Chains A and B, each alone.
Chain A
Amino acid sequence: MHIPDGFLNGATSAGTAVVAAGSVGLSIRKAGAYLQDNMIALTGLVAAFVFALQMLNFPVGAGTSGHLLGGALAVILVGPWLGITAMSVVVIIQALLFADGGVTALGPNVLNMAVITGLAGWSLFRVMIRLLPKSWVSVTVATFTAALVSVVASSVAFVLEYGFGGRGNVELGTVFAAMVGVHFIIGIGEGLISAATVAAVGAARPELIAGLGGAGITSQGSRPIRSGVWGFAFSGLVVAALLVLVVAPLASSEPDGLERVTADQGLIESAEEHVLAESPLAEYEVDGVEDEAAGTRVAGVVGVLVTFGIGAAIVGVFVVLRKRSATTV
């Protein structure tokens, strides 16, 4: 959804603008290094393609229609850097030339519709391609899931921004349910169209699909995209973060099996309080954040990052130790 002027307060707009500018700048630099002088023409054409596709409307019920966003499709076809650059140009031009999205809301709009869709779509696609068996069916499934999640992630980001600085003081849960609900349905449409498009491209010129490690470009000065370990780790982090942000708050708040049984049997009174019950993230809530759902999300993200950090540190220690022992041979 294109955010208009006056929807978010200044701090949120400015903050998201900084993040968006940084990400887009990084994408442009990487795309330039990857494509060198071919970049401008090719990205322009990809952007024109995405723009043309966005004119595809489909009904999502209740009299509204959604249209293709194209973020995941773009990055799967031409890679993350080119894709994000093309998408941000599309969003910027839509805001400036077509009044679709406020000028002061360029930050959050670019962040939501270009950066987040691109990153989420790319990471999820790469993770699934690695895990699924190597066939065109898996490519289609991966594209569908990546596109669906990218749209949902974009709407979740919008809800988060609204939570930080939106006008109207609506219950965040209501906004979440409405926004994410509608965008889930739109995401299904986007997933279907993206999957079919990638399948069509794959049937004719599979070597053009950057997401499958294709060279993508047939002219000089290009090399295939290789993600390596860090790419996989980053993708895994993004998937974990998405699960925390989207799925975790929907989890049931009923007591789990053990708690239920002990409560029924009257044993729960003899349970002692956890030693760390006073810590800032106890019970998956955050002190100072009153909204429970937001607290869960923040705690979850912190947990993911800390776990990843500790895990990476442990692995790093082992790697260093192994290198040391290898050199003494």
Chain B
Amino acid sequence: MFVLAAVAIPREAFWAHALAGSLLLGVIVLAELPAGFVARRMIVEVPILIFALLLPFVGRGETTQVVGLTLSVEGLWGAWTILAKATLGVGASIVVSATSTVPDLIRALGRLHVPRVITAIAGFMVRYLDIVAGEFSRRRVAMASRGYEPRWLWQGGPLAQSAGSLFIRSFERGERVHQAMVARGFSGRIPVYGAEKATPGQWLAGLSVPGAMVTLAVLSLTVP
């Protein structure tokens, strides 16, 4: 909801974006997330930032002069919009993912009526991601300890070989897991656990930030 509201704010409303940014910052401080952690997670945004920064230079339409450079107006607006909204979105996602455990997040997705198939697969994926990634990195360590550290693309042969055997092992692990589940009585239906209801206080706390954002968005859309 936070992200939807952020995307809905019209691009001209600088004040709304600034308020939203400070709201997000406040939440980050409240959640006691270390600044370096948040910064590192925000690195995923970098390719988009590069794209956004290039927009004023390659945009069409009317142009203005800024510091001696001819920049496209539409491009400037586009760059600002992307930067602002993407940063808000990424920040919100980081807060959510950093403050909730993964099982909770997946359960939450199920509560939001994401199909149970997807949440079940996601649960399995996250559960075995550590194992599979760990196996992969152990192979790379094994290769490195035998003196092979590929840096260039054409040196990737043995790496792909280990990827291939990793696939076979993951596949067979999947089948073993399934057989273990069947042996313990799995009938094909995914059970739903942890149906504890949230207290009104938790609801209020949870809705406070998105609620503030929605109010902000509505205000920015109605008040010119």
- Select from chain B the residue with minimum beta-carbon distance to A195: B160
Type the 1/0 row for A190-226, where 1 means its CB is closer than 8 Å to any CB of B. 0011011111110111001000000001110000000
**Interface positions of B from 146 to 178, Cβ below 8 Å from A:** 152-154, 156-157, 159-168, 170-171, 173-175, 177-178
Which of A2-10, A123-131, A292-300, A313-321 contacts its partner?
Answer: A2-10
Question: Main SS of the interface on chain A?
Answer: helix
B51 to chain A, nearest CB (A): 9
Q: Are the C-beta atoms of A48 and B170 separated by less than 8 Å?
A: yes
Which of A92-100, A252-260, A263-271, A277-285 contacts its partner?
Answer: A92-100
- Select from chain A the residue with minimum beta-carbon distance to B90: A99
Q: How many residues of B contact A (CB 8 A)?
A: 84
Q: How many residues of A contact B (CB 8 A)?
A: 76
Q: Which of B129, B165, B188 contacts A48 (CB 8 A)?
A: B129
**Interface positions of A from 133 to 160, Cβ below 8 Å from B:** none
Number of residue pairs across A and B with beta carbons under 8 Å?
Answer: 258
Distance between Cα atoms of A102 and B6 in the complex (Å): 12
B33 at the interface (CB under 8 A from A): no
Distance between Cα atoms of A64 and B72 in the complex (Å): 26
Residues in B neighbouring A329, C-beta threshold 8 A: none
A47 at the interface (CB under 8 A from B): yes
* Contact A6:B6 (CB < 8 A) given known A53-B163, A58-B156, A169-B75: yes
**Interface positions of B from 43 to 82, Cβ below 8 Å from A:** 44-45, 47-48, 52, 55, 58-61, 72, 74-75, 77-79, 81-82
Q: Are the C-beta atoms of A169 and B190 separated by less than 8 Å?
A: no
Q: Are the C-beta atoms of A49 and B164 separated by less than 8 Å?
A: no
Which of A31-39, A231-239, A242-250, A303-311 contacts its partner?
Answer: A31-39
Q: Are the C-beta atoms of A28 and B117 separated by less than 8 Å?
A: yes
Residues in B neighbouring A26, C-beta threshold 8 A: none
A19 at the interface (CB under 8 A from B): no
Q: Are the C-beta atoms of A204 and B165 separated by less than 8 Å?
A: yes
Type the 1/0 row for B67-101, where 1 means its CB is closer than 8 Å to any CB of A. 00000101101110110111011100110110000
Residues in A neighbouring B115, C-beta threshold 8 A: 25, 28
- Select from chain A the residue with minimum beta-carbon distance to B131: A48
Q: Are the C-beta atoms of A49 and B170 separated by less than 8 Å?
A: yes
Interface residues of B (CB under 8 A from A): 3-4, 6-7, 41-42, 44-45, 47-48, 52, 55, 58-61, 72, 74-75, 77-79, 81-82, 84-86, 88-90, 93-94, 96-97, 102, 105, 109, 115, 117-118, 120-129, 131-133, 135-136, 152-154, 156-157, 159-168, 170-171, 173-175, 177-179, 181-182, 186-188, 190
7 additional contacts (CB under 8 A) given A32-B117, A219-B178: A45-B128, A46-B171, A48-B133, A59-B153, A98-B41, A170-B55, A219-B175
A-B CB contact pairs (8 Å), 25 listed: A5-B6, A6-B82, A37-B178, A40-B190, A42-B171, A43-B124, A44-B127, A44-B174, A45-B171, A48-B125, A52-B129, A52-B135, A55-B136, A56-B159, A86-B121, A99-B89, A104-B7, A167-B78, A168-B59, A192-B154, A193-B156, A196-B160, A196-B161, A197-B161, A205-B168
Identify the 4 closest CB pairs spanning chains A and B, nearest first: A44-B124, A6-B85, A200-B164, A168-B78
